[in-house]
Structure 1
Amino acid sequence: MPIEWVNETKEAPEISGASFHDRGQPPLAVLHLWPHRSLPKKGFVLFIAITFVLVLVPLLAVIGTPVLWGLLPFVLVALALMWALLQKNYRDGEILEELTLWSDRVTLIRRARRQPDQSWQANPYWVTVQLHEKAGPVEKYLTLKGAGREVELGAFLSSDERADLYLILADLLPRVAASAAPGHQPHA
């Protein structure tokens, strides 16, 4: 699953007792989400190499003839185009969502290639996590609601991954909110 808890735990961090965030202290939890890559970089190179070899097999019949020189540029252009389009796909998929939890603030930042960062923050006491089974644009649409806005989380995750993340956040957010001191306002 393309999810990583940055605070060196494999799952949601343990938050117990009254812990209050002081300015400059590290967050209680940081979650990174990114799109799944079905073709890793090593697989990409192997795919291009195998495709090149398979495309050359039919050209073996025309080695030593002028037909080879007529077909070879088209084969090379096709391989170059495939390479370029797969590279563009990798670049366009460079999205990172970072959910940071402090006792007094929840921040979500979405970073996408060639787009300005999008950010949202709210007091964790008022934040609710919702999993819309059928009502959203996709199955199991995951949102965070707070500070007068509802923001989508993990749009690029599969429906099962969103459901798993919902269970983790539905357990974690109330514990984060409970650790905040009463009446405290989030940092600006």
Structure 2
Amino acid sequence: MPARRHPDVTALELVGGPEPVTVGIHDYDPSWPAAFAEHRARIRLALADQHVEIAHIGSTSVPGLAAKPIIDVLVAVDDITAEEDYLDPLLAAGYELRVREPGHRLVRTPERDVHVHVYEHDARAVDEYLLLRDRLRTDAADRALYEGTKRELMQRSWDDMNAYADAKTAVIEAIKERARAELGRS
């Protein structure tokens, strides 16, 4: 674990409070990778002097998978507590702070169509996001299971986007467990 310049936050700060789910599931849109590429370039420019990794994650990163039309971007930085290094430049690039919690920050576009998740390079969440993405890209049965779960959950009304995300947890964990088993990881 890298040395910290500052103490990390100790609790969840959800800027603006809970928000209802207002977008539905859309069939896969082949323009999603291009939208990611635009934001990757915007983030690289904003963080040009940083050692960062940038990846397309979430359902829009999986060809053929229906998704909410929100591009999820993962950015890995050296020190999550050094917000002056990455958060200030991302805010200056037009993103807005939504979440500050231990080990994770989330900024998004004002239109709320792009979520940028910031973690440290060695954060377990980085590996977990990539594990799920890669499994969904390569396993048709798990991709169908995940899509079916999302479509079923979107039949309900959700007053909090986080509650919708939490409702998918059991299916996501089962998919990741199968991916780990196939890769020989425990």
Q: Same fold (TM over 0.5)?
A: no
Give the TM-score band, short-chain normalised.
Answer: under 0.3
Comparing both structures, which one devotes a greater share of its residues to strand? 1
TM score, norm. by length of structure 2: 0.28
**Bigger radius of gyration, 1 or 2?**
1
TM score, norm. by length of structure 1: 0.28
